[in-house]
């Protein structure tokens, strides 16, 4: 979603990405992994502000600003350079922990593309065109519930998901994506069914989801046992229908039938682990 001000600036939301499933189905000769993943977005995330300027700059604020660079290694500046937009002053409000499996950097890059396009009246590129910025950037630019396959470049929207509510929990342990893939026992696992079901509601959806996997969860738990602790703690909260890791970790999610249950579970978990990043969220559905 983009909100433009009268001064010509623009703001874009960068929602957290949640891999409800993540099946690793192969590996290409160039090293890229083939995936089959059901992805949704949460109503919690970072925020990108842009305004015309004499030269492009990046300022990072927010509770997790110290975790990300503000130089050209940041995907926000890489996205601005890739888009070839006019110079802009960019401010990134960092509310999501970095390198935590919820697509923060990729979502920030996608939000930057949306904000700059809105600010300067540029045509928004097709999601697949942003693949050079990273495998998760196309789905983050789409920012709708999708089945993501290929190397992240094949997207099929899933419009009929039931309302979903989550607790996101990150134990604050760094997990290297490359190390997780390197420790994956098999690079060729089963995909999701070719045709996804017509779910009757959240219980029907959860029962189906429980039969799917995140193939990266086991290697992540071996590298960072705290992931297993987070999954166990989420599973013990009242009303939790399913607990699973998202992405390559270390963030895990618990799935709940109502937002009230998610809010209550987040508060209960925070009292036990005050040093973790924990938040309740619902699925975010773009309207623009």
Q: What is the dihedral of CA 242, 247, 251, 256, to 10 degrees?
A: -30
Alpha-helical runs (H) found in 201-249 = 202-209, 217-223, 226-236
Identify the residue whose tokens are 């300022």.
Answer: 59
Q: Which residues are catalytic?
A: 17, 136
Q: What is the dihedral of CA 112, 24, 208, 40, to 10 degrees?
A: 0
**Strand pairing report for 165-170 and 277-282:** antiparallel
Partner residues linked to 14 by β-bridges = 46
Angstrom distance (rounded) from CA 38 to CA 241: 17
The 8-class DSSP code of residue 74 comes to: S
Angstrom distance (rounded) from CA 234 to CA 128: 35
């Amino acid at each position: 979603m983009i909100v433009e001000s009268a001064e010509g600036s623009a703001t874009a939301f960068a929602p957290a990405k949640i891999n409800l499933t993540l099946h690793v189905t192969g590996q290409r000769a160039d090293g890229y992994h083939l995936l089959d993943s059901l992805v949704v977005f949460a109503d919690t995330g970072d925020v990108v502000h842009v305004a015309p300027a004499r030269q492009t700059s990046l300022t990072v604020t927010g509770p997790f600003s110290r975790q990300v660079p503000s130089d050209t290694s940041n995907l926000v500046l890489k996205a601005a350079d890739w888009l070839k937009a006019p110079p802009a002053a960019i401010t990134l409000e960092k509310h999501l922990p970095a390198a935590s499996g919820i697509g923060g950097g990729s979502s920030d890059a996608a939000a930057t593309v949306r904000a700059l396009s809105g600010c300067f009246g540029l045509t928004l590129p097709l999601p697949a065109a942003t693949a050079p910025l990273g495998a998760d950037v196309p789905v983050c630019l789409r920012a709708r519930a999708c089945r993501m396959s290929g190397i992240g470049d094949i997207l099929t929207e899933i419009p009929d998901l039931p309302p979903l509510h989550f607790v996101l929990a990150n134990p604050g342990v760094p997990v290297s994506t490359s190390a997780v893939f390197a420790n994956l026992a098999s690079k060729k696992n089963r995909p999701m069914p070719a045709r996804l079901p017509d779910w009757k509601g959240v219980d029907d959806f959860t029962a189906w989801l429980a039969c799917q996997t995140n193939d990266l969860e086991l290697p992540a738990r071996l590298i960072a046992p705290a992931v297993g602790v987070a999954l166990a703690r989420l599973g013990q909260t009242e009303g939790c229908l399913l607990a699973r890791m998202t992405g390559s970790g270390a963030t895990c999610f618990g799935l709940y039938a109502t937002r009230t249950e998610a809010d209550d579970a987040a508060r209960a978990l925070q009292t036990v682990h005050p040093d973790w990043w924990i938040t309740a969220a619902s699925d975010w559905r773009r309207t623009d």
